[in-house]
Structure formats: structure tokens, C-alpha cells
Structure 1
Amino acid sequence: MAVSRRSGSRRTPSDVQAAWLRRGLDQAGGKLPLFDERGQRVKKPTVDACLKAGWAERWFHNPLKPDWLVCRLTDAGRDALTTPEPDNAEVDDDARQGALI
């Protein structure tokens, strides 16, 4: 199992990233698709951002198509899909209370 590499400021995937990652939830080994629901190749920036955030990892090298990244969902990716991001109002209230103490 790869170590989660959660870099960057986003704690949750964008809508496009989450849609791609969700497709790995029901696949054997968490395999992520190379193509979207319309048969179009998943955009490289989407894949790269998910890899950088640690939500996906390279699974294996495809010798027939070496430029295709075969990826799978990581535990961090599953967590990012199921853990809600804190509400900004709650964060602001916590910050104000901390400032008052």
C-alpha cells in the first residue's frame, strides 16, 4: 500500500476529480477508468492532481500504451470522498473562540 502524499491546499477533490475517483469505488482493486462516461479519455490534469494529492496512485505500467496512466484509488482517496469538508462557519466560530481564550 502506498503512503498518502497529501500535498497542496485542497482537502477535498473538485467535482470533476471526485467523479473520476468515485468510479474506482466499486472496481476490483479500486481501478480508476482511463475513459469517462462519454468514452473520452480522462484529462491528464485531473489524473495528475489526484496523484499529487495522494487520492490515486499509479498501479502498473501499460506496455501497449506507455503514455496511459493506469491508476487505482488510495485509502486517502476513499477518505476524501467520504469525509465532508468542514463548514466555513464552523471554522470561523472555532477561530473566534480560540482568539477569545
Structure 2
Amino acid sequence: MATPRRPGSRRKPTDQQAAWLRRGLDQPGGKLPLFDDNGQRVKRQTIESCLKAGWAERWFDNPMKPDWLVCRLTESGRNAILDRSTVIAVDFQQGVRVE
């Protein structure tokens, strides 16, 4: 298992890493997919680099497929994804844009 970086790491996920991590935002427990939107396996290098950065963690071992890395999003990964996003808050009662 990859050793996570220190929690205060300032490195940002690449576009490919961010796309994979983002898919865990709305999944129960932050489960990260094994396959992309086209049904292709997520590259092991992407998964391992996210594990090493501390953005994902091993969740459990799959006894039927021991080579599969079943992972979930960490709080650090969630923050790294949300830090990449531009969020604009809108007060719908007032109809005024708030930043």
C-alpha cells in the first residue's frame, strides 16, 4: 500500500486524478470507481498516485479480484477537489450574486 504524503501537502491533483476523485464525491462512503465512464479500467498509476498523495485510501480487499484496488475518497482528497472548483453562491431570495 502506498504511504500517504503529509496531510498539509500543497500539490494539486492533475486533471485525470481530479476526474477520478470527483466521482467519489456523491458516492456512499466516497467509493471511487474501478472503471471510467467508458467502461475502461482506471489506470493503476492514477490510483496509486492518489493513494500516495493521501487523496484516496484503500477501503477493502476484494477476495475475488485481489489485484483490484478498491478505494474511497479521503477528507484530504475531498478538499483537493473542492479547492480546484470555483464556487459562486447565489441568494435566490434576493436574486443577488454573493462571492
Q: If the TM-score is normalised by the length of the shorter chain, which range does it land in? A: 0.7 to 0.9
Q: Does 1:6 align with 2:33?
A: no
Give the Å deviation of 1:5.
2.8
Rounded to whole Å, the distance in 2 between the matches of 1:5 and 1:69 is 15
Query: Which protein shows a greater Rg?
Result: 1
Question: In the alignment, residue 6 of structure 1 is paired with which amino acid?
Answer: R
Q: Identify the residue that residue 73 of structure 1 maps to in structure 2.
A: 73
Structure 2: state its 5+ residue gaps. 85-99
Structure 1: state its 5+ residue gaps. 85-101
Give the Å deviation of 1:10.
6.2
Q: Does 1:61 align with 2:70?
A: no
Question: In the alignment, residue 50 of structure 1 is paired with which amino acid?
Answer: C
- Counterparts of residues 1-101 of structure 1 (less than 5 Å): 5-6=4-5, 11-84=11-84
Q: Which has the higher strand share?
A: 2
C-alpha RMSD over aligned residues: 1.7
Q: How many residues align?
A: 80
Rounded to whole Å, the distance in 2 between the matches of 1:47 and 1:5 is 12
